[in-house]
């Protein structure tokens, strides 16, 4: 009797197990058809398109040497390259240091920058602070500069702390000196200087 029961159970399982397997497989296929595979992607379509169009680099650091032998270092919080603006690179929280062959060091900070390498031009905007080792600190809301050489201009009003005193000017131009001379900073367009004479020591 036990042998007959065992044989009957084996025969029943031979039929039942394949049927159960088919049922499980059919359930999986039904579930896969009902599920939208794109719903598991963590980015919305608009976000994906934005990331593809606006490639971003976080914390970039670049350094190089100009044709005149000046060393340039560039640091930013992030850099993006908008697709709709071909050739333009935008940077946020920018810091630039220039060590000139003649010995002068210049640093520039700004909230943002827009760089067009093809035009050899960089526009710095927002709380721009330029500091020179010659004792100058210039503040402006906009500076434009060449990328391959020290040639910085502010076509807008600047305020500056200089060795001679505090001044306000309508424009400023910083350029490299000739024959390895120190950099030259020129203020124009209505310069107002508050002269502060040095105290004479006893």
What gap in Å lies between CA 173 and CA 108, rounded to an integer?
A: 14
Distances (CA, A) of 127 to 59, 81, 112, 132, 184: 20, 22, 9, 16, 22
Q: Are 162 and 194 in contact (CB under 8 A)?
A: no
In the beta sheet, which residues pair with residue 105? 99
| Mean pLDDT, rounded, for 66-79 | 84
Q: What is the pLDDT of residue 54?
A: 56
Question: What sign for the dihedral angle of Cα 154, 157, 159, 165?
Answer: positive
- pLDDT tens-digit series, residues 163-194: 888 999 999 998 876 655 667 889 999 999 88
This prediction's pTM: 0.66
Mean pLDDT of the chain: 75
pLDDT exceeds cutoff 70 at 83: no
What number of other Cβ atoms are within 10 A of residue 132's Cβ? Answer: 21
- Cβ pair 185, 163 in contact under 8 A: no
Query: Is residue 29 very low, low, confident or very high in pLDDT (cuts 50, 70, 90)?
Result: very low
Q: What is the pLDDT of residues 2-17, one digit of tens each?
A: 555 555 555 555 555 5
Task: Please check whether residue 144 is in contact with residue 128, taking contact to mean a CB–CB distance below 8 angstroms.
Answer: no
Q: Position of tokens 């600190």?
A: 137
pLDDT of residue 112: 93
Residue 30 has pLDDT above 50, yes or no: no
Greater pLDDT, 134 or 37: 134
pLDDT given at position 37: 46
Render pLDDT for 107-162 as a digit per residue (tens, 0 to 9).
999 999 998 878 888 899 999 999 999 889 999 999 998 887 778 999 989 999 98
The dihedral region occupied by 3, where left means phi > 0, alpha psi between -120 and 50, and beta the remainder, is alpha
**Band of residue 27 on the pLDDT scale cut at 50, 70, 90:** very low
Domain 56-195 is of which CATH architecture?
A: Sandwich (2.60)
């Amino acid at each position: 009797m036990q042998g007959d029961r065992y044989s009957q159970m084996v025969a029943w399982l031979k039929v039942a197990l394949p049927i159960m397997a088919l049922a499980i497989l059919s359930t999986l296929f039904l579930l896969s058809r009902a599920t939208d595979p794109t719903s598991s992607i963590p980015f919305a379509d608009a976000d994906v398109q934005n990331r593809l169009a606006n490639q971003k680099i976080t914390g970039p650091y670049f350094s190089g040497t100009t044709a005149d032998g000046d060393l340039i270092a560039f640091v930013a919080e992030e850099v993006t390259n908008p697709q709709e603006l071909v050739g333009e690179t935008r940077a946020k929280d920018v810091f630039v240091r220039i060590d000139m062959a003649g010995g002068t060091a210049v640093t520039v900070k700004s909230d943002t920058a827009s760089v067009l390498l093809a035009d050899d031009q960089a526009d710095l905007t927002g709380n721009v602070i330029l500091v020179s080792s010659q004792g100058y600190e210039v503040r402006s809301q906009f500076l434009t500069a060449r990328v391959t050489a020290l040639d910085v201009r502010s076509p807008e009003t600047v305020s500056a702390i200089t060795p001679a005193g505090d001044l306000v000017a309508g424009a400023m131009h910083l350029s490299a000196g000739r024959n390895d001379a120190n950099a030259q900073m020129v203020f124009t367009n209505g310069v107002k200087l508050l002269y502060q004479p040095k105290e004479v020591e006893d």
